[in-house]
A = this chain, B = another copy of it.
Amino acid sequence: MSPEPLDIQTPSGTFEISIDVRWGDMDALRHVNNTAYFRYFEEARVRLFAAMGLDGADGRYGVLAHASCDFLKPLMYPARVVVGMKPARVGRTSLELDCWIADAGDPGTLHARGRNVLVCAEAATGRPLPWTDADRQALGRCFAV
């Protein structure tokens, strides 16, 4: 599959939310389980989509095509984390996001770094839909510098 053409207007700001780690996010090794990192990314994606007005109400939703994570430093409970996202590439129907997780009290130290690739899809059929001009403007607002 050849790559989608690069969008020259990829916004350069970041989108951030904060999440309270729950005790139940830990596993038997007594640190936050790897699946919780992907849950934190998911929460950020959902809020990003809501901020963009892509909440499913208009018959479109965001499908996760790829997710990856480098686990850099264990997370312990209790903690409040910042989950950040920054567009790496805006394709015709896709959005590639650089993601990271840092401690809210020490934002310079990263606990994880990853990549999420989303595809805008038609709810009824699951088929990819091109981003509209309104979507691109919304992206620009959500990732304003």
Could you tell me which A residues sit within 8 Å of B by CB distance?
Answer: 19-20, 22-24, 26-30, 33-36, 38-39, 42-43, 46, 50, 61, 63-71, 74, 77-78, 115, 126
Q: Is A66 in contact with B67, judged by CB distance below 8 angstroms?
A: no
Q: Is B64 in contact with A66, judged by CB distance below 8 angstroms?
A: no
Nearest CB in chain B to that of A72: its residue: B65
Q: Is B24 in contact with A42, judged by CB distance below 8 angstroms?
A: yes
8 smallest CB-CB distances across A and B, nearest first, come from A68-B68, A26-B28, A23-B46, A35-B35, A28-B30, A35-B38, A24-B39, A66-B70
Prevailing SS type, chain A contact patch: mixed
Nearest CB in chain B to that of A26: its residue: B28
Name A24's contact: one of B23, B27, B71 (CB within 8 Å): B27
> Can you sample 14 A-B contacts with CB below 8 Å?
A22-B39, A23-B27, A24-B27, A24-B33, A26-B27, A26-B28, A28-B77, A33-B42, A35-B35, A35-B42, A38-B38, A65-B70, A66-B71, A67-B68
A141 to B139, CA, bound (A): 48
